[in-house]
Amino acid sequence: MSQFTEIRNKLAFNIKHGNIQGSLEVAKATANFVDLIASSDGWTVASDLLKIVNDEGKKLTTALPLHATVANVLLQLMHIIRAEYYYAVNQSTQAVQRFVESCMNCEEIQEKKFSAQCPGLKDAILDHIAEYRTELDLSVDNITEQAAEQIQPGEVIMTIGRSSIVAAFLQAKKAAEHLSDFQVIVAEGAPQCEGVKMAELLAKSKIQTTLISDTNIYSFMSRVTKVILGTNLVLRSGGLRALPGAHMVGLVAHEHKVPVIVVAPTYKFSSMLSESHQSDNETFNLLANPKGVAKFKDGIIASNVKVLNPMYDFVPPDYVSQVVSNIGTYGVSHMFTAINELYGAVEESAKDLKMAVV
Amino acid sequence: MPPKDKEILKEKEVLQAVVVDDLLSTDFPFSGPKGLLRLANVRLLDYTLSCLSAAGVEQTLVYAAQGSEQLQEHVRASGWGEPGAMAVQVVACQGSLTFGDLMRELDARNAIQGDFFLLTADTVCTADLRPLLLRHRATCARDKNAVVTLAFAQAEPQHAARTEPKQLLLGTAASGRVLAHQRLDPDARNLDLPLDLILQGPGVELRYDLSDPCLAVCSLAVPPIFSDNFDFQTRDDFVRGLLLNEDILGHTMYAHILQDEYASRAHSLPSYLATSVDVIRRWTFPLTPDVSLSQVDRGYRLDVVFNICKQSDVSIGRSDVEDCVIGEGSVIGDNCRLRLCVIGKNCVIHDDVDLCGAVLWDQCVVKKGFKKSHFLAPERTVLSKNNDKSISVKVEERMDSVDSDTDSSEDEGEAADEVDEYENFFNEVQDSLERGFGEKVNTDDLVVEINSSRFANDIPANEVSLWVSKVVLGLPAALKKPPKDVLAYFRPILRKYVGKASADHLNCLLALEVSAQNIFSHAKPFKNNKIAECNSFVCLIKRMINLKKN
């Protein structure tokens, strides 16, 4: 039990039960929590701070196994703390660059104990965390600014399910050029069928929208000029962990040579390598409640039939063309480097937060 | 307008829940409290507390009939009750065994401030409870007499989740008010319904497609109802009692049917096995072992392709394993076929084993070639084929036979108990009177013996005369003595028990009728014997009439 237990429990409760809605709000709340820890008096050297954040982070992610954003933000902030320490110790940006590049070599990292006293380290860390939080606040704007270049007039865009960032992206384009005549085809994304809500959102902004069932994705793809997807996570390999049905969209788009653009802010970039990423207790995918697919009250189904309702879909990096994020647009082959900058080496960040990251 | 300081002083209303942890059914070879029974390797209490925490309950009171220290330890180790999270308080109730007793304890301790959720420790529910609470509050605002809203889950007849021997028939009005609540025998051909049901107006529903997860929202008035009625032992008693006394006390009950949500109980062996299968089949998601249900039983990872939820350090040989939950340290051999199984920690399953729907607790060993489905094996059992001399097959078979025969044996047992009392009384009185006649004991002493028998067997006062008369009238045949002597000897006893009351007279005549039937039914179909019997019967009646005159 620590001084942060109560705050952590309240945060976990609010996120778990929908009081904090949407991945952006969750990311902001988590960054807030780390800020609180960093500004407290409980630490003097960087290793202490890292230990506290690690411990609290472990408990927080165990309580919220279905929210990958929480783990991502925690890991990114821990990397920031390490980078600031390295800078404070060496007083040069070159050293930091070397630090980042040396992230491939984890022996060097292990030697660094992060225990040297550095005056001004606390302020530097707090500043950097504040910068990170500002970045979070501006993430939606930074992404939607790029909408104008990404979408051309007369485009037919396909998307699946509901993603608030994709909706904002499309709405921004419409708002910027009122007469731009692009149209959007929304696949419903069974069994959640959030595509219906997406179609409502887009229609409210006067975007020409068509709602189709997932089974018709292939037949409509011949008219589509671009696919824009939201995602749960972007993996280091450039692949995605997205909602069920996304793999199918990517596959069909690939066959029709339609570019697939993924809109994802940095807090959705994950340190996981790929779908077969194995570590202590991480799972890539889960089987969720079958109630979306079949009804429990139907005795024949409930007793005799195995009803599968996977939570996520893996989209291989081959099917993805570009990732539009708040730090710029990346080609899929550059994702590995981009994510390294956020998290450090694979081996290094794998040691952080040994908990149930899902 | 109330003064401002009073507003400030008003206590913030805390949303409470009461988890009743009554006695575990004897089906289970488990000595701890019900809340610590493992369902898919996670304690039942964790399922209940997770469900309540999700509903925003701020304080949970767990009333435990036994094992409260163990429950407390588990709560502490799991991190329930940390500051900022839901507060969990385990209340030990010595001497309280049933649901009703624990509710009376609740009333005595006065711990409830307002509306509260009421569940048992074996309720597993994934439903969001907040709409249930809102509905209850709306109902109470509309109907001042409403005291409880019962929640029911939907499950069609023939559903595997309906494991109760007697199924629920619920009658509700259009407003949701409960009009009828009966447990029906599955073979029953008729059913009795109160006339009020039909007269309630349009929208009356009779539902037979419900299962009862023992989940409800109660108002403040509920605990005192249990204290006022000492014979309320189970929740069914409470519901029936409220329905019966609706006119007198005016309390009303409402029902809320959960739509598309999972809720069930794991209180008996069949329902426990059915709920285990539901957890494996993911119907209880997010209450599944791999989604951080418990801080203590953690580290489960789900293999999505084969639906195997296992902890670390599990080794599976070249076997066909699908839809299982496996605890750490377990070893499964080659050529096995496991379906829908829950396997505890450190179990060893040898080659060629075929299990379906099995629940093995920690450290079980299953020997080569074993094949069985739908059973529970308690900790450290060794299971092997029938022709192997392993000890624990008997244990496991008992579990299995309880599983399949639990309904009929339960009914028989109950019925047998009731009849036993009267038979006991009859036999005891017969023994004392026979002995008394043989040893020429004073009839006053015999009366004392009969009275003590009567109290021991709890015979109601209006039935004593019937049974005593039966005994006395049957004695001549039993003792093989002439009726004249026997009846003369026992005249004072008959006079004492068959007094002036007409009810007693009627009882005596009934006994006479029964005895006469006995005589004729035992009579041989030879004319002479029949006449002899008739004569003795006439003799008996004469004696009785003479007795009456005295």
Q: Give the pLDDT score at A278.
A: 56
Instruction: Give CA separation, B545 vs B495, B501, B518, in Å.
Output: 12, 16, 20
Q: Give the pLDDT score at B2.
A: 46
Which runs of E-coded beta strand occur in chain A?
156-160, 183-187, 208-212, 226-229, 233-234, 240-242, 260-263, 313-315, 322-325, 328-331
Residues of A in contact with B46 (CB under 8 A): none
Residue in A closest to B126 by C-alpha: A289
Using CB atoms, pick whichever of A16, A288, A306 lies closest to residue B323: A306
Joined tokens for residue A36:
């609180």
**Residue spans of alpha helices (H) in B30-129:** 44-54, 68-78, 99-109
Q: Do B283 and A289 touch (CB under 8 A)?
A: yes
Average pLDDT over all residues of chain A = 86
Using CB atoms, pick whichever of B261, B282, B300 lies closest to residue A287: B282
Rounded to a whole number of angstroms, the distance from the CA of A157 to the nearest CA of chain B is 32
Joined tokens for residue B354:
């075929």
At residue B200 the predicted structure's pLDDT band, cuts being 50, 70 and 90, is confident
Q: Give the pLDDT score at A277.
A: 63
Joined tokens for residue A262:
């993924």
Q: Do A1 and B83 touch (CB under 8 A)?
A: yes
B282 and A CB contact within 8 Å: yes
Q: Quick one: three-class SS letters along B283-317?
A: CCCCCCCCCCCCCCCCCCEEECCCCEEECCCCEEC
Using CB atoms, pick whichever of A66, A297, A356 lies closest to residue B155: A297
Beta bridge partners of B359: B342, B376
Residues of A in contact with B301 (CB under 8 A): 281-283
Instruction: Give CA separation, B193 vs A305, B148, B151, B182, in Å.
Output: 37, 22, 22, 9
Residue in A closest to B274 by C-alpha: A303
Using CB atoms, pick whichever of A63, A298, A308 lies closest to residue B292: A63
Residues of A in contact with B307 (CB under 8 A): 287, 306, 308
For chain A, the C-alpha Rg in angstroms (whole number) is 22
Q: Give the pLDDT score at A282.
A: 63
Q: Do B304 and A306 touch (CB under 8 A)?
A: no
Scanning B126-145 for CB atoms below 8 A from A yields 126
Residue B386: pLDDT above 70?
A: no
Q: Give the pLDDT score at B391.
A: 27
Q: Give the pLDDT score at B394.
A: 29
Residues of A in contact with B84 (CB under 8 A): 5-10, 13
Q: Do B299 and A281 touch (CB under 8 A)?
A: yes
Q: Please write the tens of the pLDDT for every residue from B3-42.
A: 444 444 545 678 899 999 888 877 788 888 889 999 999 9
Q: Give the pLDDT score at A100.
A: 60
Environment class of residue A204 by beta-carbon count within 10 Å: exposed (0-12), middle (13-18) or buried (19+)? exposed
Joined tokens for residue B143:
């109907």
In this predicted structure, which of A121-130, B364-373, B533-542 has the lowest mean pLDDT?
B533-542
Scanning B314-333 for CB atoms below 8 A from A yields 323
Handedness of CA B327, A281, B78, B86 (dihedral sign): negative
**Contact present, B183 and B170 (Cβ < 8 Å):** no
pTM above 0.90, yes or no: no
Average pLDDT over all residues of chain B = 81
Q: SS3 helix, strand, coil % of chain B, rounded to 5? A: 40, 20, 35
Instruction: Give CA separation, B175 vs B178, B201, B255, B335, in Å.
Output: 9, 11, 9, 57
**Contact present, B266 and B272 (Cβ < 8 Å):** yes
Mean pLDDT of B303-327: 92
Q: Give the pLDDT score at B193.
A: 82
Residues of B in contact with A299 (CB under 8 A): 155-162
Q: Do A8 and B156 touch (CB under 8 A)?
A: no
Sequential DSSP letters for B473-536: HHHHHHHTS-HHHHHHHHHHHHHHHS-S-HHHHHHHHHHHHHHHHHHHHHS-S-HHHHHHHHHH
With CA atoms as reference, report the closest residue to B407 among B199, B236, B183. B183
Pick from A56, A67, A289 the residue to mutate for testing the B interface (most B CBs within 10 Å): A289
Give the position of tokens 């093989």.
Answer: B480
Q: Give the pLDDT score at A350.
A: 62
With CA atoms as reference, report the closest residue to A334 among A277, A269, A279, A283. A269
Separation between Cα atoms, residue B489 and residue B441, nearest integer Å = 10
Which runs of E-coded beta strand occur in B115-172?
116-120, 123-125, 146-154, 167-172
Residue in B closest to A18 by C-alpha: B54
Length reported for chain A: 358
Task: Tell which phi-psi region holds residue A116, choosing left (phi > 0), alpha (psi between -120 and 50) or beta.
Answer: beta
Residues of A in contact with B323 (CB under 8 A): 306
Residue in A closest to B311 by C-alpha: A281
Joined tokens for residue B216:
């409800």
DSSP-based three-state secondary structure for B89: strand
Rounded to a whole number of angstroms, the distance from the CA of A12 to the nearest CA of chain B is 9
Residues of A in contact with B56 (CB under 8 A): 17
Mean pLDDT of B44-57: 91
Mean pLDDT of B53-64: 90
Q: Please write the tens of the pLDDT for every residue from B288-304.
A: 998 877 778 888 888 88
Separation between Cα atoms, residue B419 and residue B430, nearest integer Å = 16
Scanning B201-220 for CB atoms below 8 A from A yields 209
Reported as type and span, the H/E element at residue B472 is helix B461-479
For chain B, the C-alpha Rg in angstroms (whole number) is 30
Size of interface A-B (CB pairs under 8 A): 116
Residue B180: pLDDT above 50?
A: yes
Residue B520: pLDDT above 80?
A: no
Residue in A closest to B152 by C-alpha: A297
Amino acid at B310: K
Q: Give the pLDDT score at A311.
A: 92
Amino acid at A300: I
Residues of B in contact with A309 (CB under 8 A): 282
Instruction: Please indicate whether residue B501 or residue B445 has the higher confidence score (pLDDT).
Output: B445
At residue B404 the predicted structure's pLDDT band, cuts being 50, 70 and 90, is very low
Q: Do A62 and B295 touch (CB under 8 A)?
A: yes
Q: Do B160 and A303 touch (CB under 8 A)?
A: yes
- Please confirm whether the linkage preceding A310 is cis (ω < 30° from 0): no
User: Which regions in chain A score pLDDT beneath 50?
Assistant: 104-110, 355-358
With CA atoms as reference, report the closest residue to A252 among A291, A299, A220. A220
Residues sharing a CB contact under 8 Å with residue A229, sequence separation 6 or more, in sequence order: A159, A160, A163, A166, A240, A242, A246, A249, A250, A260, A261, A262, A263, A315
DSSP B188: -
Q: Give the pLDDT score at A354.
A: 58
Q: Do A289 and B282 touch (CB under 8 A)?
A: yes
Rounded to a whole number of angstroms, the distance from the CA of A13 to the nearest CA of chain B is 7
Q: Do B307 and A286 touch (CB under 8 A)?
A: no
Beta bridge partners of B90: B62
Using CB atoms, pick whichever of B83, B156, B285 lies closest to residue A6: B83
Joined tokens for residue B127:
């439903």
Using CB atoms, pick whichever of B56, B298, B307 lies closest to residue A17: B56
B159 and A CB contact within 8 Å: yes
Separation between Cα atoms, residue A50 and residue B366, nearest integer Å = 47
Q: Do B282 and A5 touch (CB under 8 A)?
A: no
Q: What percent of chain B has pLDDT over 90?
A: 29
Joined tokens for residue B428:
């005891």
Q: Please write the tens of the pLDDT for every residue from B213-257.
A: 999 999 999 999 999 888 888 888 899 888 888 777 788 999 999
Environment class of residue A104 by beta-carbon count within 10 Å: exposed (0-12), middle (13-18) or buried (19+)? middle
Q: Do B283 and A296 touch (CB under 8 A)?
A: yes
Q: Which domains does chain A have, with CATH numbers?
A: 5-141+345-353 (1.20.120.420), 143-333 (3.40.50.10470)
**Contact present, A281 and B303 (Cβ < 8 Å):** no
Q: Do B302 and A283 touch (CB under 8 A)?
A: yes
Joined tokens for residue B330:
């377990």
Using CB atoms, pick whichever of B84, B286, B292 lies closest to residue A8: B84
B27 and A CB contact within 8 Å: no
Separation between Cα atoms, residue B67 and residue B35, nearest integer Å = 9
Which residue numbers of A have CB closer than 8 Å to B's CBs?
Answer: 1, 5-10, 12-13, 16-17, 62-66, 280-283, 285-291, 295-300, 302-303, 306-310, 356, 358
B182 and A CB contact within 8 Å: no
Residues of B in contact with A17 (CB under 8 A): 54, 56
Q: Do A302 and B281 touch (CB under 8 A)?
A: yes
**Residue spans of alpha helices (H) in B181-323:** 195-198, 222-228, 235-244, 246-249, 269-280
Question: Rounded to 5 degrees, what are φ and ψ at B121?
Answer: -65, -20
Using CB atoms, pick whichever of B156, B284, B302 lies closest to residue A299: B156
Mean pLDDT of B365-383: 86
Give the position of tokens 């629940």.
Answer: B359
Separation between Cα atoms, residue A205 and residue A172, nearest integer Å = 10
DSSP-based three-state secondary structure for B161: coil
Residues of B in contact with A310 (CB under 8 A): 304
Separation between Cα atoms, residue B277 and residue B163, nearest integer Å = 13
Beta bridge partners of B331: B315, B348
With CA atoms as reference, report the closest residue to A331 among A238, A225, A228, A235. A238
Residue in B closest to A312 by C-alpha: B304
Residue in B closest to A290 by C-alpha: B283
Q: Give the pLDDT score at B536.
A: 65
Separation between Cα atoms, residue A289 and residue A307, nearest integer Å = 9
Separation between Cα atoms, residue B157 and residue B159, nearest integer Å = 5
DSSP B12: P
Q: Do B53 and A10 touch (CB under 8 A)?
A: no
Environment class of residue B120 by beta-carbon count within 10 Å: exposed (0-12), middle (13-18) or buried (19+)? buried
Residues sharing a CB contact under 8 Å with residue B230, sequence separation 6 or more, in sequence order: B100, B104
With CA atoms as reference, report the closest residue to B49 among B62, B63, B68. B62
Q: Do B156 and A288 touch (CB under 8 A)?
A: no
